[in-house]
Each structure stands twice: as structure tokens, then as C-alpha cells.
Chains A and B, each alone.
Chain A
Amino acid sequence: MINKRRTFIKQSLQASLLASIGANVVFSKYLPEGINLLGLDHETKSFPGKSDLLTVLNDRPINIETPAHLLNDKLTPNNLFFVRNNGLPPTSIDVDNWTLEISGESAEQTKSYSLQELKSRFENVSYNLTLECGGNGRSEFNPPAKGNQWTTGAVGCVKWTGVRLKDVLNDVGIRSNAVYIGYYGADTHLSGSPDKTSISRGVPIAKALENESMIAWAMNDQDIPLLNGHPLRLVFGGYPASCSGKWLTKIIIRDKVHDGQKMTGKAYRTPCSPVAPGAKVDDKDMCIIEDMPVKSLITYPKTGAVIQQSQKLPIAGHAWTSSDNITKMEYSIDFGMSWKPCVLSESENKYAWQHFEAELTFPEPGYYEVWARATDTEGNTQAMLLPGWNPKGYLNNACHRIAIKVQ
């Protein structure tokens, strides 16, 4: 185990050299272990394929979020996409011999596919899908919830390329009693124990059969970064990102709700009925999170802008929902007393985030907060205060706020 980890660290150093200086370091393979390039201090804070501008919440397991102003691109660049790992990423990946097994009680047969078979046998599709961690916004809960204290940055939207999960499942054959699918990946448990699974979640069979539910091998037309699941992962827009299994090696079609690691207990569950903040909730009264709530993020300007009163302030950002579309995007500069509309783009496809823009004027010098709220097809919108407190701190979709000073 120790040896394996060491190789991973060395491999990741090579990759991070590339990422952080933006050029290949000639002869980098001859760098003795423990010797770093000048100017690359904090080597331990660099992660393969990820920008140093991201916020590292945790380095074992690796959990990294993206500051709001770095999410301004229409599609999130791969090196800015957040990382939520439950275990340790695989240390050696053999793309040529990678296989995906489909089996389970409700599968007609057990079948394996190589990456090449997946690419050649099924229709290749691309969708822009937003992935958001179920715990995004956890840091605001009071009483606090344990776990990674995500602020606003466990979200991103990229162009995913792969095949439809339903095409592969249908090729194997789904029995009529199928209820759920569950996944397994090549990552290892944090303790290093081979007997433990770090995470094995899944989705109801109806979700698995949606058009946009994918087995993907590319992010923005490039290989998926190692920390985001290279070479193969599931992608389910609109569900907690933990359903979208990484380093995917196996999918099982279940005749009951999947009971893998982090499907049971309180993990990725909220109280079945609303509870008061701080309430104790029994495991049996906790229900699995399915659809993620409507949400939006102001990605321009970065919070803390100081402007002249004569200036008009352009703002921009994204909004997303698990229902069909965002239908309305509004902003307020008076703490929610009045709301004005933003210009909102059309959705590329279901679960893609939509972009908004507006130009703001301020009536007089002073301190302002710009608040943003999205409304979706179903009429759901965002709370100003923290919505439904829950023991594990999931689903905080309270409106995003940035601070502005006008002189």
C-alpha cells in the first residue's frame, strides 16, 4: 500500500508539473524523488490536472472546490472542475485493458465491455450536464453538519462525451423487476483496506434510462481528469454528483434499492419530513436524495468589487435545476425588497446550466449586496435564508450573495 501510494504521488507530481507551469519539463523523469522544481513550493497542495487557484478543503481524501468567480466560463474548464473524492483514486490505470462489467439480480446476463467496445458498439453522444455535490453549501448550516465544509464551489458544467447508459443496459437486458442500478469503481477505501468500498451509490432504474444519463469518457473533448474519474464514469445531471460513479468498473442492476456504501444510514439522505434545526433524526426517517434543487451562482464580478457610482455594473452567472428549465432569473440590490429580471440564455439540453446577465445601477454610494435567484419550470425558486435544515447538511440552495461597495 505504501509503495502504491508513493508511485501515485510521483505520477501526480509529474502531472502537476505540467499543470502548474503549463509546459512539459524536459528531463522531469530524471528528477530525483523529493527534489522539486524551483518555484513549485507547496508541492503537496498541487493536484494532478487541477489549478492551484482552487480551494483545497481536504487532501486525504482529496476535496477541492472552485471559487465562484472562476466558474464564469460557459463550460467549466477541466482544471477548474471541483473534486469530491470519498476514497483514494486508483494508482495505475490501464486504459487498453479497462473493462466495465454489467451484472446484478435484474440483469439478463453478465456482460463485460472494453472501452473500445463501448466507443464502437454504441451511439456516441455529448451533453452539457451540470454536476453538483449534494453537500454544496454545507458550511452555512447551523447547527453545523459534519463533513467537507463546501461553500458554493462544488458545482460545474462541462460537455460530457460517452454513450447512453440505457443503450448499454438494454444490450445486457433488464429484467422487469429492476428497481435500481448501483456502481463500483476502482478507487480504494481511505483506510487502504481492500475489503472496504469507499463509495458505491446509484440511481432508480427510471433515472438510469433517461436520455441524458451517460457513461462518459471525455470532459470538454479531453480525457476526464484523473481526480474526476478517468478513464470512465457515470454522469447523471440533476442528481447529487455522488450518484455519478467514477473510475467505473462495474454496474449492477438491482431488484431492490441499491444498498452499497453511502446509500444507507444518513449518507446522501435528508429527513423524510421537515425537522427543526438541530433535531435528532433516526436512520429510518431519512430518505435518499434524488432531484437536486434549483440554484444559481453569480460568477462575475468576484465578490468585493469597489466601483464608482457613475459606473454601471455588469453581472453574470449560471442557473440550473433538475426540472426542465430555468424560466426566470432575477437579482436584488436591496436585500430582497425588490427584484429585477436578468437576461437568461436558453438551455443547451436538459441539466445544462443556463447563463444570465444584467447591468446594474446603484442609487447612491454605500455598501450593497447583489443577490440572485432562479425560478424553474415547476415554479420552484431559491430561499434567501438557509432552507430545510438537515443533519448532514445537504441541499443548501439559498440565494448566492456578493458584496459591492459604491463610491
Chain B
Amino acid sequence: MDNRHINTEPLWKLFISLMGLLVVACLVLFAYLCLQKPIKNYLNKPTYSHKQLEEMARKRAIQRDKERSENWNLVEKGIHVKTGLKADPNLQVVIGACTSCHSAQLISQNKATRQGWKNMIVWMQQTQGLGDLGANEGIILDYLAKHYAPKETGRRNNLDTEAIEWYILNVEE
């Protein structure tokens, strides 16, 4: 029996763990080298309170809205954002003739046939100081009759259940 025989198993285990640690260390080093820049950026990033961040978001939203509303040509979903009127190649003629006296909403909330719109123009000319529209009158009437024509609604419309905002109402019993 050789008593000097040394059990090498623990040493091997130790060696393997050391190698494992070395590999992990290498990986960490590699990752650090790769991510050095983002980490640096993160550490140097100024910190803002929740309130400040909200404030900044609000500022950006206002700026965006402002740019949106100041953009004379912006059209979204067929609507000219600045006036709320339906987009059309002849829209500028309508804007020029109508909105120097009244809001564009007075157009967009109304509906009429071509003759009905003509009657309104005549009324504005007779009583409200609107001048002769010349060749623009036909263009304007075409625009209005096309985009703001009446819909047949019968003697009374259904309630617009699509447009209603449904909400849960908890009534105390």
C-alpha cells in the first residue's frame, strides 16, 4: 500500500474552477470593452426628477403641437390641420375668400347643397359686406358642394351609438 499516494482530485477541481473564473473574467472584460461607451454615457447622464421629465415631455408636446398648427400645408387623414377643412387642390381659394371674416368652423359644421351654399354667399353679400367673388365663386361652390353636402337623416337621426363614449357607472345601492 503506497501511503505517499496523494489524492489529486481536489487539486483538479481547484484548477477547473480557476480556469472557469478566468473564462468568466475574460468574458466580463470583453463585455466591458464592448459596452464601455454606453456605460460611460449612462454614468455621465444627468439625472432628472420625475416632475422634470414630465415637464420636458410636456414642453416637447407643446412644441410639436405648435409646429403642427403653424404648418400651413399639413394634411392629416384628409383634413387640413390648420383650418380643420377637408383637403382639396382648391382649398386655398376657399380659405382666402371665407376665413378673413369668420372662422373655418362655420364652414365645417354646416352642410348644404350647391344651391344652399350659393344662398349663403348671396346672404353674406347682401347683408354682411362680402364682395363679388368673381371666377372664384364657382370653385368655392364646387368645393363646398363636394365636401360639405347634406346627408339624408330622416325626421330624426338615431343616437350615434358609435360616437358615444361608453363608461361603467357604479350606482350606490
Chain A interface residues toward B at CB < 8 A: 36, 38-39, 41-42, 56-61, 140, 142-144, 146-149, 190-191, 193, 196, 265, 277, 301-307, 310-314, 367, 369, 384-386, 398, 401-403, 405
List 5 contacting pairs A-B, 8 Å CB cutoff, sorted by A: A142-B150, A144-B112, A191-B101, A305-B169, A306-B167
Q: B110 near A: Cβ within 8 Å?
A: yes
CB-defined contacts of B157 to chain A, threshold 8 Å = 140
Contact-residue bracket for chain B: 35 or more
Say yes or no: A386-B156 contact (C-beta < 8 A), given A191-B129, A302-B167, A311-B171.
yes
Tell whether, in the assembled complex, residue A190 and residue B105 are in contact, meaning their CB atoms are under 8 Å apart.
Answer: no
Chain B interface residues toward A at CB < 8 A: 55, 58-59, 61-62, 65-66, 101-103, 105-106, 109-113, 116, 119-120, 127-129, 150, 152-157, 159, 161, 164-171, 173
A274 to chain B, nearest CB (A): 14
Having A41-B65, A144-B116, A196-B129, one finds 7 other A-B pairs with CB under 8 Å, namely: A190-B101, A303-B159, A305-B166, A305-B169, A306-B168, A307-B169, A312-B171
Tell whether, in the assembled complex, residue A58 and residue B109 are in contact, meaning their CB atoms are under 8 Å apart.
Answer: yes
Main secondary structure of the interface of B (DSSP, over half): loop
Tell whether, in the assembled complex, residue A405 and residue B166 are in contact, meaning their CB atoms are under 8 Å apart.
Answer: yes
When chains A and B are docked, how far (Å) is the Cα of A193 from the Cα of B129? 9
CB-defined contacts of B156 to chain A, threshold 8 Å = 140, 384-386, 398
Smallest Cβ-Cβ distance to B109: which chain A residue? A149
B152 to chain A, nearest CB (A): 7
When chains A and B are docked, how far (Å) is the Cα of A273 from the Cα of B120? 24
Tell whether, in the assembled complex, residue A304 and residue B165 are in contact, meaning their CB atoms are under 8 Å apart.
Answer: yes
Tell whether, in the assembled complex, residue B169 and residue A146 are in contact, meaning their CB atoms are under 8 Å apart.
Answer: no
Residue among A41, A193, A310 with the highest chain B CB neighbour number at 10 A: A41
When chains A and B are docked, how far (Å) is the Cα of A405 from the Cα of B167? 9
Tell whether, in the assembled complex, residue A144 and residue B110 are in contact, meaning their CB atoms are under 8 Å apart.
Answer: yes
When chains A and B are docked, how far (Å) is the Cα of A304 from the Cα of B171? 14
CB-defined contacts of A405 to chain B, threshold 8 Å = 166
When chains A and B are docked, how far (Å) is the Cα of A250 from the Cα of B103? 29
B142 to chain A, nearest CB (A): 18
Smallest Cβ-Cβ distance to B111: which chain A residue? A144
Tell whether, in the assembled complex, residue A401 and residue B159 are in contact, meaning their CB atoms are under 8 Å apart.
Answer: yes
When chains A and B are docked, how far (Å) is the Cα of A312 from the Cα of B161? 22
Pick the residue among A60, A265, A312 that contacts B102 (CB under 8 A): A60
CB-defined contacts of A144 to chain B, threshold 8 Å = 110-112, 116, 150
Say yes or no: A149-B169 contact (C-beta < 8 A), given A39-B58, A58-B103, A191-B101.
no
Pairs A-B, 10 closest by C-beta atoms: A305-B169, A60-B103, A304-B164, A149-B109, A385-B155, A311-B171, A142-B153, A41-B62, A58-B105, A304-B166
CB-defined contacts of B129 to chain A, threshold 8 Å = 191, 193, 196
Smallest Cβ-Cβ distance to A39: which chain B residue? B58
Tell whether, in the assembled complex, residue A265 and residue B105 are in contact, meaning their CB atoms are under 8 Å apart.
Answer: no
Residue among A146, A148, A367, A401 with the highest chain B CB neighbour number at 10 A: A146
CB-defined contacts of B167 to chain A, threshold 8 Å = 302, 304-306
CB-defined contacts of B165 to chain A, threshold 8 Å = 304
